[in-house]
């Protein structure tokens, strides 16, 4: 399908069709426009549909096999080499149901009770709550929003704050790149500054790179583990086809273990994490990595159109929102302090739009909402117009 036809097909998707699909984004909060949970409204790549149909037709729904695991590792390694220039040995790649399961396994088997988790904020919501379920305390270190007067204000790491958090008992840093919810693609220089702090503390990094396939043309994803020998040794990378290829419900992520000692410990202690991955998820992920890139490129083109359209839409309807076109992800923050500390609650009631509240993103999220713009442009336009009308009314 050429790009014009692809764009027209996505533009034509309606709210009624999305609600009829029954997914969480459009069914959990009836009567609202869904702009919260991180999934796209664009379906999946045809090769994935075909692979899943063939799997269903085979009737093979038994436990996963060593061949499944080897196929997934091979497919991800080849994708990472093409997409990021990362020379991944398939032996480093292990399955998991999702990135949170990788984090849970890391906390349980690579840290000790009493160890603390260091988290730059605003952050992906479960990163604030999951460590507590594993009896690990969170130390939030708010990022600093810098505005040098240029067109692209940027959030930066508080390196002194990170160092202080490690001195207070932090043993693991959660690093998210591209950054959810900020939409930033971290540079090698930014990550090396963080790596210096981590290395000095003798700590570990959980590198969430689930949004890595969703990076726009003028940027490039750099895996944290590729920066130098230190970062490869002190990190575990978690990723998945779920965001780039719209497959979160199929439960198949990848842990990439670049340290031989980590691989040995994972093999000994994390087999239960691996067994949580879905066999249909393996099928979908392998098809995505092997054959899904042409579709991904078309989706990136559509998302690029949306993020650019948001520049004009926010300038007209939300000039005070501080919108900066994301470098990666299909998520962005809008600053709406006129609506109080929790603008999302106001917009849910008065605009019929459901967004992620900034208060759920940790320190620094107050007065913000997180908007998911992976939706048809006519729907996105309606969402922004509704938000603008409420803000003006206040």
Residue 184: give the domain boundaries: 52-291
Of 260, 291, 322, which residue constitutes the final position of a domain?
Answer: 291
Core vs surface per residue 254-281: b (16+ CB within 10 A) or e:
bbbbbbeebbebbeeebeebbebbbbbb
The answer to whether the beta carbons of residues 291 and 47 sit under 8 Å apart is yes
Q: Are residues 96 and 77 in the same domain?
A: yes
Give residue 194's pLDDT band: very low, low, confident or very high (50, 70, 90). Answer: very high
Q: How many CB atoms lie within 10 A of CB 134?
A: 16
Q: Are residues 100 and 177 in the same domain?
A: yes
What is the average pLDDT across 241-265?
98
Is pLDDT at 150 greater than 90 in this prediction? no
Q: pLDDT tens, 44-53?
A: 999 999 999 9
The answer to whether the beta carbons of residues 374 and 330 sit under 8 Å apart is yes
Give residue 147's pLDDT band: very low, low, confident or very high (50, 70, 90). Answer: confident
Q: For position 23, what pLDDT does the model report?
A: 87
Q: For position 238, what pLDDT does the model report?
A: 98
Q: Are residues 61 and 141 in the same domain?
A: yes
Q: Are residues 182 and 258 in the same domain?
A: yes
Q: For position 149, what pLDDT does the model report?
A: 53
Of 291, 316, 349, which residue constitutes the final position of a domain?
Answer: 291
Q: For position 22, what pLDDT does the model report?
A: 84
Helices (H) and strands (E) in the chain, counts: 16, 14
What is the average pLDDT across 233-246?
98
Distance CA 201, CA 198 (A): 5
**At 109, which CATH number?**
3.40.640.10
Q: Are residues 147 and 75 in the same domain?
A: yes
Q: Are residues 323 and 260 in the same domain?
A: no
Q: pLDDT tens, 199-212?
A: 999 999 999 999 99
Q: Are residues 99 and 243 in the same domain?
A: yes
Is pLDDT at 9 greater than 60 in this prediction? yes
Q: Are residues 9 and 129 in the same domain?
A: no
Out of 5-9, 18-22, 330-334, pick the least confident: 18-22
Rg (CA), the chain: 21
What is the average pLDDT across 95-105?
98
Q: Are residues 122 and 227 in the same domain?
A: yes
**At 321, which CATH number?**
3.90.1150.10
Q: For position 3, what pLDDT does the model report?
A: 82
Q: Could you tell me which residue, 150 or 333, shows the higher pLDDT? A: 333
Q: For position 2, what pLDDT does the model report?
A: 84
CA distances from 257 to 206, 250, 352, 374, 381 (A): 11, 22, 44, 31, 42
179: three-class secondary structure by DSSP: coil
Average pLDDT across the chain, whole number: 96
Domain count within the chain: 2
Give residue 234's pLDDT band: very low, low, confident or very high (50, 70, 90). Answer: very high
Alpha carbons within 13 A on the beta-carbon side of 337:
5
Q: Which of 59, 92, 93, 123 is nearest to 241 (CA)?
A: 93
Is pLDDT at 5 greater than 80 in this prediction? yes
Q: Are residues 178 and 225 in the same domain?
A: yes
Q: Are residues 143 and 282 in the same domain?
A: yes
The answer to whether the beta carbons of residues 153 and 324 sit under 8 Å apart is yes
Distance CA 13, CA 320 (A): 30
Q: Are residues 202 and 256 in the same domain?
A: yes
Percent of the chain with pLDDT over 70: 99
Token reading at 232: 């490869």
What is the average pLDDT across 270-283?
97
Q: Which of 205, 227, 155, 181 is nearest to 328 (CA)?
A: 181
Q: For position 1, what pLDDT does the model report?
A: 75
Of 268, 291, 314, which residue constitutes the final position of a domain?
Answer: 291
CA distances from 204 to 17, 107, 166, 194, 322 (A): 44, 10, 10, 11, 34
325: three-class secondary structure by DSSP: coil
Q: pLDDT tens, 312-334?
A: 999 999 999 999 999 999 999 99
């Amino acid at each position: 399908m050429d790009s014009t036809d692809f764009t027209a097909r996505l533009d034509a998707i309606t709210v009624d069709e999305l609600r009829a699909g029954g997914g969480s984004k459009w069914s959990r909060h009836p009567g609202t426009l869904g702009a919260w949970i991180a999934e796209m409204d664009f379906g999946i790549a045809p090769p994935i549909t075909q692979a899943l149909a063939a799997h269903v037709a085979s009737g093979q729904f038994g436990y996963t096999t060593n061949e499944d695991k080897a196929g997934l590792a091979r497919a991800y390694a080849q994708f990472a080499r093409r997409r990021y220039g990362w020379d991944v040995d398939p032996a480093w790649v292990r399955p998991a149901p999702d990135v949170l399961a990788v984090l849970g396994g890391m906390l349980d088997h690579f840290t000790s009770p009493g160890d603390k988790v260091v988290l730059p904020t605003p952050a992906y919501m479960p990163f604030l709550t999951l460590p507590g379920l594993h009896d690990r305390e969170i130390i939030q270190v708010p990022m600093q929003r810098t505005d040098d007067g240029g067109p692209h204000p940027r959030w930066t790491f508080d390196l002194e704050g990170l160092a202080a958090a490690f001195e207070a008992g932090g043993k693991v840093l959660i690093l998210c790149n591209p950054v959810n919810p900020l939409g930033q693609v971290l540079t090698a220089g930014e990550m090396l500054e963080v790596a210096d702090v981590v290395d000095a503390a003798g700590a570990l990094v959980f590198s969430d790179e689930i949004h890595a396939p969703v990076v726009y043309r003028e940027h490039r994803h750099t895996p944290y583990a590729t920066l130098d020998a230190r970062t490869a040794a002190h990190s575990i990378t978690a990723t998945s086809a779920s965001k780039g290829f719209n497959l979160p419900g199929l439960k198949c992520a990848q842990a990439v273990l670049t340290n031989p000692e980590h691989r040995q410990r994972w093999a000994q202690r994390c087999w239960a994490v691996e067994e949580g991955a879905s066999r249909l998820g393996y099928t979908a992920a392998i098809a995505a990595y092997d054959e899904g890139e042409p579709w991904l490129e078309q989706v990136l083109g559509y998302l690029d159109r949306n993020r650019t359209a948001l520049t004009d839409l926010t300038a007209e309807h939300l000039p005070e929102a501080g919108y900066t076109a994301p470098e990666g992800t299909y998520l962005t923050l809008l600053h709406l302090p006129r609506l109080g500390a929790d603008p999302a609650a106001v917009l849910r009631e008065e605009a019929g739009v459901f967004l992620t509240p900034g208060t759920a993103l940790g320190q620094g999220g107050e007065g913000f909402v997180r908007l998911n713009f992976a939706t048809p442009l006519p729907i996105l336009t309606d969402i922004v117009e509704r938000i603008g009308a409420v803000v003006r009314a206040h």
